[in-house]
Structure formats: structure tokens, C-alpha cells
Amino acid sequence: MDKYAVIGHPIEHSKSPLIHSEFARLTGQPLEYHAILAPKAGFADAVKQFRQAGGKGANVTLPFKEEALALCDELSERARRAGAVNTLIWNDDERLLGDNTDGLGLVSDLKRHAYPLRDARILLLGAGGVARGVLLPLLSERPKRLVVANRTAHKAERLAADFSSFGPVTGVGLENLDGTFDLVINGTSASLSGKLPDLHRVKLAEDGCAYDMAYGDSLTPFQCWALENGARHALSGLGMLVGQAAESFALWRGVHPPIEPILELLQGEVE
């Protein structure tokens, strides 16, 4: 039976084994998937040992996504631009391929909610690795404009400059942020500590949407802000989690698994 895994530190919280096991059951794919706790200084060895044990592919989570990039023999354009890899694939000649499906997971979840991205005015909060990983897929949907906002303005400006050839993207410091947006995406870590980014001069367009890449047992402060400001949807990152996993599964197996049954299962656990 083909072997797959998720590698991270810590890893006990990961929902990937449940998600991929359900994908395999629903699609009839013969595989096993488990979690691997790698020492913080031992990621490369963990990957090597997994491959020697028959591993065919792996997901990579924090804090190893950048290190995974350096291990790969080939990279997708998404992974190269993101500067991080979350999906590893060994091909027939033992070359290690790296991809990044995080942005695809975000876009697929927005599309699942029938939210139009083409010609949309998009605000992306944060300029770290999470934001970098979703920029190319978002710009590929041809928004009207995309603004990256960060507490440190030069980080947002530099990130926007890195992707300027792919679409209309600009960077700005949070203190200078204002305007009306059709879609606001929170790619900061604020929700993890129960905080809200500075949005006092930001407005959601009528019928606008907000998306928090984080998720938890209840609404995040960002989702609450969105609902208080008239958002049509105030979505959490749970759909993105399942969506990026589905893209990884499709890269490995050539079959795109159904997402809805897994979301229902996970939402039931959260509730």
C-alpha cells in the first residue's frame, strides 16, 4: 500500500491524517497516511527515512516549509514564488518535486462559496509566509486590485514588488490603510491570540466577503468584525485546510477528492 505522511513539529494537532484517510476511503485509493514528528533540527533526515520506508509523497507543515523548498530537485512556480513547499512528490527517477497548494486551497474555498474574484478589490492582511503563499493563485484570478497591508510597511511593499509582474498588487503599512474592498483576507497571526488587526479605516463593500485563514472552536475577532460590518460571508480557514489537502491528494493520485463530506465531518468536530 502506498505511504504518505505529514511532517511537522509539533504535529499531534494535525487534522491531515483524518482528512487524507477520508479522501482515500471516498475515492477508493489504496494508501495509508500518518503524521511524523520531526526534530526541529532533523527535518531532512525525517524525509530521507520516510522515503527509504517507501514513502511516495508528503505534506509539510510548520516550521519546515522553507526547509522543504531547499530539499527539492524541482519546484512548481507556485512553490518558487511562495518561497515555501507544503507538498512533496517523488517521481519515478527519484527526483523530489515540491509544490505549494495553500493558495489553491484558499481560492477553491472562495469559489465553493460562489464568491467572484475576477475584478474584485482584495485586501490581504499580513506579509509573512502565509500571505506570500496565496498571492500568485489570487492574482491568477485577475482581481481589479490587490492590496497587501502589514504593520511594517516595507515588508508589504517588498512582497507586492515581488509579485507585481503577475497583476495589480501594491503594498502599504497598516497605519496608512484605508478604502473599500470586496474581499478582506486575514493572513496575520492576530486571531491565534484573540486580537484584531487595525481595520478602523477599512470598509467592506456591499455584499462583501471576509476570510480568516485561521480557524477555531468559535468565531475569531476578525470574523466578528466582518459580520458587524455587513459581510455576506465571514469564513474561517477550515475550508482552505481541506482545499489545500485535496489539491495535494490530486497531485499524488491523479484524482480530485470530494471536499464537502470532509468539511461536514470537521465542522461537526469543531462544533
- Does 40 participate in catalysis according to the annotation? no
CB–CB of 188/214 below 8 Å? no
Residues 98, 104, 105, 108, Cα dihedral to 10°: -150
Q: How many residues does the chain have?
A: 271
Strands 233-235 and 202-212: parallel
| Binding site, annotated residues for shikimate | 14-16, 61, 86, 102, 215, 244
Show Cβ contacts of residue 65 under 8 Å, excluding neighbours closer than 6 positions: 84, 85, 86, 100, 129
Cα(10)–Cα(16) distance, rounded to whole angstroms? Answer: 13
Grid cell, residue 8, equals: 511537522
Catalytic residue among 40, 48, 65, 111: 65
| Binding site, annotated residues | 14-16, 61, 77, 86, 102, 126-130, 150-155, 213, 215, 237, 244
| Binding site, annotated residues for NADP(+) | 77, 126-130, 150-155, 213, 237
CB–CB of 75/201 below 8 Å? no
95: which DSSP letter? P
Q: Which are the catalytic amino acids?
A: 65
